[in-house]
Amino acid sequence: MKKSIFIITIIIIFLSLPTPSLSQHCNKDDENTLFQIKKSLNNPYHLASWQNTSDCCSWYCLKCHKTTGRIIELTIFSGNISAQIPPEIGNLPYLQTLLFRKLTNLTGQIPSTITKLTHLTSLTLSWTNLSGPIPSFISKLTNLNYLDLSFNNLSGQIPPELAKLPKLGELDLSRNKLTGNIPNSFGTFSGNLKTLYLSHNQLTGNVPKSLAFLKCTTIDFSRNRLTGDLSMFFGRNKTIEMGYFAKNIFSFNLSKVVFPARFNYLDLNHNKVYGSLPVSLTGLSLQFLDVSYNSLCGKIPQGGKLQKFEKTSYLHNRCLCGSPLPPCS
Ligand SMILES: *[C@@H]1O[C@H](CO)[C@@H](O)[C@H](O)[C@H]1NC(C)=O
Ligand SMILES: *[C@@H]1O[C@H](CO)[C@@H](O)[C@H](O)[C@H]1NC(C)=O
Ligand SMILES: *[C@@H]1O[C@H](CO)[C@@H](O)[C@H](O)[C@H]1NC(C)=O
Ligand SMILES: *[C@@H]1O[C@H](CO)[C@@H](O)[C@H](O)[C@H]1NC(C)=O
Ligand SMILES: *[C@@H]1O[C@H](CO)[C@@H](O)[C@H](O)[C@H]1NC(C)=O
Ligand SMILES: *[C@@H]1O[C@H](CO)[C@@H](O)[C@H](O)[C@H]1NC(C)=O
Ligand SMILES: *[C@@H]1O[C@H](CO)[C@@H](O)[C@H](O)[C@H]1NC(C)=O
C-alpha cells in the first residue's frame, strides 16, 4: 500500500511540473502576425509584453498549443485600444478562441478575414464599439460553439445564415441595434443550441413558428418590439426552462399555455398577454415570475411558489386578484 501511494505521489508531482519551455516554442509565422496585429492596434500599452526578446508563447493575452507552438487563443479583456479589429487576425490559422471585450474604443466592422479561422470554437466581440451589420460570413466558422457579439453598436438584420452553424451552443446578440424579424431559419438550428439571447435590440414582427423546433433551455427576447405568440416554446415536452420576454408587445392567451416540468423562470412584464394564470404554474419550482403590466384577469392560483412572489410580480393587469393581490370580489 505505502509503495503505491509513493508511486502515485511521484506521478502527481511529475504531472504538476511545468512543461519544458522547449516544447512551447512560438511558431515564427504566428509571431510575425502578432507583431502586425500589435502595430495595427497602435502598439497599445496592454500588449507591451509582445517583444521579440521573449518567446511569444509567454506573451500576455495569448495561449500556444503545447506541442506545435501555434497560437490557439487571443484574449484581450479590457484596455485602452483605439483601433479597428486588425484584418491580420485571419493569419493565425490555428486560433480556437478569439476574444475582444471591454474595449470601448475598438471601432469599425467585423473583418471578413476572420472566415480564415476555421478552427475557431469561441468568438467573443463584446462591450466594444463595433458597428455595421452582423456579417453573414460568420456562418463559415462551422466549428463555433460560442458566439457572443453583445454590447456593441451592430445594426441591420440578423443574418439567417447563422443557423447554419451546426455546433453552436450559445448565441448572444443582445444589446445592439438590430432591426427586422427573427429569421425563420432559426428553427433549423441544431439541437446543440441551448441559449439564445437577443434582448435589447429593435427586433419586430412575430416570433417565427419554426422556432418550435429549437431545443433551447434559455431564451431571452426581452426589450424588443416583438409581437404575437410565444406558444411555440411551450408544451409538456418542450425544453425551455427560462424565458425572458419582458418589454415587448407579445399578445396571447396565457390560460392555454402548458409549461414543461423543468420550467422555472418566467419574465413577461410589460406585454399584452391576456387570459388567466394557468393552475399548472403551482406545480413548478419557479425561481422567478413577473407577469406585471399585461392584460391578465382572474384569480391567481393558490399554491406552489405563486404566493412567494411580491405583489409587484402581478400588478397592473386587467383584473388579476387573490393573494398576494387583494381578494377577488
Ligand atoms: C527584434 O525587433 C527589433 C525591433 O523591431 C529588430 O530591430 C530586431 O532585428 C528584432 N530581433 C530579432 C532577433 O528578430
Ligand atoms: C477612448 O478614446 C478617447 C479619445 O481618444 C479617450 O479620451 C478615452 O480615454 C478612450 N477610452 C478608453 C476606455 O480607452
Ligand atoms: C487612452 O489612450 C488615449 C490615446 O492614447 C489617451 O488620450 C487617453 O487618456 C487614454 N485613456 C485612458 C482611460 O487611459
Ligand atoms: C463609438 O463610435 C462612435 C462612432 O464610430 C462614436 O461616435 C462614439 O463616441 C463611440 N463610443 C464610444 C463609447 O467609444
Ligand atoms: C454607438 O454609436 C453611437 C453613435 O454612433 C454612439 O453615440 C454610442 O456611444 C455608441 N455605443 C456604444 C456602446 O459604443
Ligand atoms: C411527449 O412525448 C411523448 C414521448 O416522446 C409522446 O408520446 C407524447 O405524445 C408527447 N406529448 C406531447 C404533448 O407532445
Ligand atoms: C383564453 O383561453 C381560455 C381557455 O381556452 C378561454 O376560456 C378564454 O375565454 C380565453 N380568454 C380570452 C380572453 O380569449
30-129 and 229-329, same CATH topology: yes
Tell me, what DSSP letter sits at residue 274? B
Reported as type and span, the H/E element at residue 14 is: helix 2-16
Check whether the bond before 324 is cis (ω within 30° of 0).
Answer: yes
Residue nearest to atom 9 of ligand 2 (CA): 80
What is the second-level CATH architecture of the domain 30-129? Alpha-Beta Horseshoe (3.80)
CA of 104 from ligand 2 middle (Å) equals 8
**pLDDT the model gives residue 79:** 84
CA of 218 from ligand 2 middle (Å) equals 35
Q: What is the residue extent of each domain of the chain? A: 30-129, 143-212, 229-329
Q: Which ligand is nearest to the CA of 234?
A: 6
CA of 108 from ligand 5 middle (Å) equals 12
CA of 283 from ligand 7 middle (Å) equals 21
Q: Tell me the pLDDT tens digit for each residue of 177-209.
A: 999 999 999 999 998 999 999 999 999 999 999
**pLDDT the model gives residue 21:** 45
Give the dihedral of Cα atoms 317, 322, 327, 329; nearest 10 deg: 70
CATH 3.80.10.10 describes domain 143-212? yes
For residue 272, CA distances in Å to 245, 247, 248, 250, 296 come to: 11, 10, 8, 6, 8
Prediction pTM value: 0.89
Low-confidence stretches of the chain (pLDDT beneath 50): 1, 17-22
Tell me which CATH code domain 229-329 carries.
Answer: 3.80.10.10
For Cα atoms 49, 53, 54, give the angle at the middle one, nearest 5 degrees: 65
**pLDDT the model gives residue 20:** 44
**pLDDT the model gives residue 12:** 53
Tell me, what DSSP letter sits at residue 36? H
155 lines ligand 4 (CB under 6 A): no
**pLDDT the model gives residue 90:** 97
**pLDDT the model gives residue 111:** 97
Question: CB within 6 Å of ligand 3 — which residues?
Answer: 80, 82
Question: CB within 6 Å of ligand 2 — which residues?
Answer: 80, 82, 104-105
**pLDDT the model gives residue 18:** 47
**pLDDT the model gives residue 78:** 87
CA of 29 from ligand 1 middle (Å) equals 15
- State the chain's mean pLDDT as an integer: 93
Q: d(Cα 121, Cα 119) in Å, to the nearest integer? A: 6
